[in-house]
Chains A and B, each alone.
Chain A
Amino acid sequence: MNKGKIVSIHSFRGGTGKSNTTANLAAQVAMAGKRVGVVDTDIQSPGIHVLFGLDENKMGKTMNDFLHGKATIREIGFLIGENTGNAEGRSKLAGKDLWLFPSSIRGREISQILKEGVDFNKLNEGLQNTITEFNLDYLFIDTHPGLNEETLLSIATSDILIIILRPDSQDLQGTSVTIDIARSLDVPNLLLMVNKALPKYDAAQIKKDIEAQFNAPVAGVLPLSFDMAENASSDLFSLRFPDHEWSKGLRGVAKAILAVE
């Protein structure tokens, strides 16, 4: 059976640009004509909906409703191109097959999950059913930073794991832990992406050093960018500024994802 691929995006530490990268990669893969879903499994601190222009008023049913048996996966899928074309970058997604499966941003619902825990059979069923019910080619999972059980589940079920790191000693140490876990879970395709690299350093050298250190391919080295910071998650940067160095680097990572058999 030819099922869609699950792509988990992970970083050991916060602040690496994980949600921004996930949203932009998903958008680029959708722009390439693929059917794409994005699930926010960062249930305790959801954020990726902001990049897709979704706020509390537009948000309907969420993953929290699914986990509590109050909604089906079909009811949660939010077609981005039809609903949030109010920003220059996002408007390019009109007519593209990109769905977001958001987590709730209501405080009470987040506290309910923290208090009651998570039914992992239900969560896994949700992840797999998004692929079959929406006939997806790719399902991107935006994970919680660090290693919690939801993250381990998404890694265990992934076809492709992308680990984002900054060229920083703490990130390098944490990444080695995640790589060990990913290898012990038999993840078939592991890619690294370096983000927020100071432009004064040689990107090719960073790639070479990190590949040698982790014995894993680096799909891209993306620069630290004030333009990106100024965007402040208000739009999909790579669609709005396609000629920017960050966007070019990101498209390289998207290409690496599409190249995986």
Chain B
Amino acid sequence: MPGVFDRLNKEIQDKQQEGGITPLDLAGLPPALRKIMRLMLRELQMAYPGLCEAVDAMPEADRLSRDDLQDALSTLTQQAWLIRIGDGEKAIYKVNLRRKEGSKLAAGIWSSLDEKLKRNPKDE
């Protein structure tokens, strides 16, 4: 029977299928949002108190007020660039990157490449 961790993990994975941010989008974000996203990229997931602590530890010029942090988190979750599990102080945030699409080359090219490679004994 799946435990709490498994259920949360599944919830996160389901939400991660919905959109997400591309690495190029990161460059176009306003500075406050970009700071949060860079932090989240490194930490992978953070609870709200941990985020507050990390923001407080930033150099003074980069520091966000609690209101600015809340606004930033709200914008990022609305866009599905961050996923939020839970609410308020207990909320956990996780970064959501958009999957890189596979090549648009005609499927036939890939299947014939696969066939060719299958015949190569080095690849067996």
B23 engages A153 (CB within 8 Å): yes
24 contacts between A and B (CB under 8 A): A107-B113, A108-B123, A111-B110, A111-B113, A111-B117, A115-B103, A117-B99, A117-B101, A118-B100, A120-B100, A121-B96, A121-B97, A124-B44, A124-B95, A124-B97, A125-B44, A128-B42, A128-B43, A149-B22, A149-B100, A152-B24, A156-B37, A157-B38, A184-B28
A108 engages B44 (CB within 8 Å): no
Interface residue ranges, A against B (CB under 8 Å): 3, 56, 106-108, 111, 114-121, 124-125, 128, 149-150, 152-153, 155-157, 181, 184-186
Q: Quick one: closest A residue to B102, CB to CB? A: A117
A111→B113 CA distance, assembly (Å): 8
Chain B residues within an 8 Å CB radius of A156? 23, 26-27, 37-38, 41
A106→B123 CA distance, assembly (Å): 6
A124 engages B41 (CB within 8 Å): yes
A149 engages B23 (CB within 8 Å): yes
Chain A residues within an 8 Å CB radius of B103? 114-115, 117
A119→B103 CA distance, assembly (Å): 14
CB-CB contacts of B85-124 with A at 8 A, as 1s and 0s?
A: 0000000000111111111010000100110011010110
A186 engages B100 (CB within 8 Å): no
A156→B117 CA distance, assembly (Å): 35
Size class of B's contact patch? 35 or more
A128→B23 CA distance, assembly (Å): 16
**How many interface contacts (CB-CB < 8 Å) are there between A and B?**
87
Chain A residues within an 8 Å CB radius of B99? 117-121
A119→B96 CA distance, assembly (Å): 10
Q: Which 7 A-B pairs have the closest CB atoms?
A: A152-B23, A120-B97, A117-B102, A184-B27, A118-B100, A153-B23, A108-B117
A156→B99 CA distance, assembly (Å): 16
A163 CB → nearest B CB, Å? 16
Interface residue ranges, B against A (CB under 8 Å): 16, 20, 22-24, 26-28, 31, 34-35, 37-38, 41-44, 95-103, 105, 110, 113-114, 117-118, 120, 122-123
A186→B105 CA distance, assembly (Å): 34
B22 engages A185 (CB within 8 Å): no
Choose among A111, A120, A125 the residue that contacts B23 (Cβ–Cβ < 8 A): A120
A115→B104 CA distance, assembly (Å): 8
A102 CB → nearest B CB, Å? 16
A111→B112 CA distance, assembly (Å): 11
Having A108-B118, A120-B23, A186-B34, one finds 7 other A-B pairs with CB under 8 Å, namely A106-B123, A107-B123, A114-B103, A118-B99, A121-B97, A156-B26, A181-B27
Q: Quick one: closest A residue to B44, CB to CB? A: A128
A124→B41 CA distance, assembly (Å): 7
A149 CB → nearest B CB, Å? 5
Using A115-B110, A117-B99, A150-B100 as known contacts, say yes or no to A56 and B122 having CB atoms under 8 A apart. Answer: yes
Q: Quick one: closest B residue to A108, CB to CB? A: B117
Choose among A3, A119, A120, A186 the residue that contacts B42 (Cβ–Cβ < 8 A): A3
B5 CB → nearest A CB, Å? 16
Q: Quick one: closest A residue to B54, CB to CB? A: A1
B24 engages A149 (CB within 8 Å): yes
B85 CB → nearest A CB, Å? 15
A185 engages B34 (CB within 8 Å): yes
B41 engages A186 (CB within 8 Å): no
